[in-house]
Amino acid sequence: MEKYITNSEEETKKFAKEFAKKLKVGDVIVLTGDLGSGKTKFVEGVLSNFGLENEISSPTFTIVNEYKKDDINIYHFDVYRLEDSDEFYAIGGEEYFEKGICLIEWGEIIENILPKKHITVTFKRNLDEENKREIEIEYFN
């Protein structure tokens, strides 16, 4: 497991932009952590690596937002409102996995249908330091 600390939203985005450089089609990234812990900011950083700055739309009321850069599709999911993985299955969610790079906020909700090979990024807030986040990265094969 790799551990990092960021001290601002900007640092998290920069870190995510760097992280994104090694991503390729078929990669599934689960983003887990409390409300407001930085999952969406991380996705913003990932998108900026693909030249998709300031293009993020809030996935609050949609389960998935799609982005495209050249021939790379990027799918940003927020499954917070899903009851369980059956609902994800019902919207054809699994079909996205091999078609692009998938970033899934609250992905632990659909844990039982995630591909075995995925990356989990966990965000932890700090009680006394408002802008500090601990970011843990785990690679599952």
CB closer to ligand ATP, 61 vs 95: 61
Q: CA–CA separation, 13 vs 82, rounded Å?
A: 26
Q: Does 76 bind ligand ATP (CB under 6 A)?
A: no
Q: Where would I find the beta strands (DSSP E) of the chain?
A: 2-6, 28-33, 64-69, 72-78, 101-105, 118-125, 133-140
Question: In the complex, which residues of this chain contact Mg ion (CB under 5 A)?
Answer: 39-40, 105
Q: How far is the CB of 71 from ligand ATP (least distance, A)?
A: 28
Among 20, 23, 29, 40, binds ligand ATP (CB under 6 A): 40
Stretch that binds ligand ATP, among 4-12, 47-55, 68-76, 81-89 (CB under 6 A): 4-12
> Is the separation of the CB atoms in 30 and 120 below 8 Å?
yes
Q: How far is the CB of 38 from Mg ion (least distance, A)?
A: 8
* Dihedral, 36, 41, 46, 48 alpha carbons, nearest 10: 170
Stretch that binds ligand ATP, among 6-14, 49-57, 64-72, 113-121 (CB under 6 A): 6-14
CB closer to Mg ion, 25 vs 137: 137
The residue of the chain with the least Cβ separation from ligand ATP equals: 38
> Is the separation of the CB atoms in 91 and 66 below 8 Å?
no
User: Angle 11-33-17 (CA atoms, 0-180°, nearest 5)?
Assistant: 30
